[in-house]
A and B are shown apart, each in its own frame.
Chain A
């Protein structure tokens, strides 16, 4: 998948645990783990909104596009 999720980096910057974020945004720790591992097929705007709000960041800080053909 050319879209990379940099949630780990942002969590480390904010010194926040995955479980804390999962609880704060109202999703399960397993689902957050799926998102972090890049196995998710899609991210809801509501989830992205909640993540950005709690981590005080922009969507671009979490999502990154890497051209695999380049």
Chain B
């Protein structure tokens, strides 16, 4: 129990730090289009904290850049939304673990939401660039070739999402069994 509380505290601190960095980076990009930290020294040290479009959206980001659109504003912000949600859910889950609550309905809800967001993220990865390009075409009349790009990591995260979703159901079932077991005299 002490180990769980200790590790939960550590993970909570890391999650909160990660969330804070993500939120500050996003705010800085939206307000001034500058990274949170950018440090280069003569010895070759390079430190950078900010937002960038990664994964299967990189090609779409390059196309946006070549057409003078800011890829961070059009895609980067959208890309971090599921990450922020996942971070918030994990904070909630580890706060429950910290309090010694392991198999309650709230825990199973966290797992279900986590799985649902990972599945939603896969759908978003698939359709968002095409949707953004359609919006740009509709607004500015610039014809951008719409491409649906899915990488192996997206498929892995989809499978992980489905597995976590099922774990959420199993935990809910386990909670019901636990409640019934308490009523066996």
Tell me if B47 counts as interface (CB < 8 A to partner A). Answer: no
Residues of chain A lying within 8 A (CB to CB) of residue B42: none
Residues of chain B lying within 8 A (CB to CB) of residue A44: 184-185
Q: Mark B144-185, 1 if CB is under 8 A from A, else 0.
A: 000000000000000000000000000000000000100111
Tell me if A34 counts as interface (CB < 8 A to partner B). Answer: yes
Q: Say how far B106's CB is from chain A's closest CB, in angstroms.
A: 23
For the complex, what is the distance from the CA of A32 to the CA of B184, rounded to whole Å?
Answer: 11
Q: How large is the interface on B (under 10, 10 to 19, 20 to 34, 35 or more residues)?
A: under 10
Interface centre among B180, B183, B184, B185 (most CB of A within 10 A): B185
From A27, A32, A39, A47, give the contact of B183 (CB < 8 A): A39
Chain A residues within 8 Å of B, Cβ to Cβ: 27, 31-32, 34-35, 39-44, 47
For the complex, what is the distance from the CA of A35 to the CA of B182, rounded to whole Å?
Answer: 12
For the complex, what is the distance from the CA of A41 to the CA of B185, rounded to whole Å?
Answer: 8
Residues of chain B lying within 8 A (CB to CB) of residue A35: 185
Q: A32-B185, A34-B185, A40-B183 are in contact. List 18 more A-B contacts (CB 8 A).
A: A27-B185, A31-B185, A34-B183, A35-B185, A39-B183, A40-B184, A40-B185, A41-B180, A41-B183, A41-B184, A42-B183, A42-B184, A42-B185, A43-B184, A43-B185, A44-B184, A44-B185, A47-B185
Residues of chain A lying within 8 A (CB to CB) of residue B183: 34, 39-42
